[in-house]
Amino acid sequence: MTTPRLLLAPLILAGGCSAPADSGVVTVSSLESMGAGRAKAAAGDFGGARDAFAAAITGGGLQPDVYCEALLQQAECESRLGNHDAALALLDDLARGAADLPRVDAVRAAVKARQAGSASSEQSTAAPTAADGP
């Protein structure tokens, strides 16, 4: 089985989003957290990747495009973990200040597709009830 990979690379390279107004000098710890998040996501450790991207965001000092990438990747990880509502909430927050809404919308579409897929698989694996008939 191949390792799941995030499909955001083309989106991330295409443009930037707006970082908070208090962004300053990039901190080494934030960049290290970004690198760790990418590595963990590539290895399929979406929980660890989500936490690393969150650490990069809270570490501060990220440039707007890197800040956007961290939030998008964090949302993607939340979705891969089945936390679709948390992913959509992150995307909603990001959309308020995003300079490149198509990137946010593309990730939102992927999250909603994954959410719909998990809902339909839950329905198909549910035990039959008396209302379902013999």
- For 20, the 3-state DSSP assignment is coil
Domain range holding 34? Answer: 16-116
**Whole-number Å distance between alpha carbons of 35 and 29:** 10
64 in any annotated domain = yes
104: left (phi over 0), alpha (psi -120 to 50) or beta: alpha
What is the structure's pLDDT at 101? 84
Q: Is residue 3 part of a domain?
A: no
Residue 29 within any structural domain of the chain: yes
Give the lowest-confidence range in 20-34, 38-52, 84-98: 20-34
Question: With 60 as the cut, is the pLDDT of residue 6 above it?
Answer: no
3-state secondary structure of 100: coil
Residue 107 has pLDDT above 80, yes or no: yes
Q: Is residue 98 part of a domain?
A: yes
Tell me, what CATH number does 68's domain have?
1.25.40
For 31-70, write each residue's pLDDT tens digit.
Answer: 999 999 999 999 999 999 999 999 999 998 888 888 999 9
> How many other β-carbons are positioned within 10 Å of the β-carbon of residue 124?
7
CB 77 within 8 A of CB 7: no
For residue 23, tell me if it sits in a domain. yes
7 occurs within a structural domain: no
Count of the separate structural domains present in the chain = 1
